[in-house]
Amino acid sequence: MSKEEQIEMLIMQTINGAMMTIPAYLEEIKQNKKTLKVENPEEFVYGMVMGMALGMSGALLSAQEELPTEEDQIKVRDIIYKHIPEIRERIFN
């Protein structure tokens, strides 16, 4: 397996892990809307999931032997962005 394939696999695990948290976060945010001052729980959770995916993937990239190049970072972003429709569907439907 190439380095790129390994990175994509790790990113997919990160995205899947973040998506598994969606039901619990939606419930939590909806129950605490007033305290958190959140108008749209779905948008809030979408931001959280995207933050987790981008943040964890960035951390995984940084943990590699070599420092990530700008090209590596763009590839990671592109992999995550490719899954935005699936993430949004999971939250908003």
Q: What is the pTM of this model?
A: 0.83
Has residue 71 got a pLDDT over 80?
A: yes
SS3 for 49-86, per residue?
A: HHHHHHHHHHHHHHCCCCCCCHHHHHHHHHHHHHCHHH
The backbone region for 37, taken as left when phi is positive above 0, alpha when psi lies in -120 to 50, beta otherwise, is left
- Rounded distance between C-alpha atoms, residue 12 and residue 17, angstroms: 8
Predicted local confidence at residue 59, as pLDDT: 84
Four-point Cα dihedral 56, 60, 62, 64, nearest 10 = 180
Has residue 35 got a pLDDT over 90?
A: yes
Tell me how many domains the chain contains: 1
* Domain housing 9: 3-92
Has residue 33 got a pLDDT over 80?
A: yes
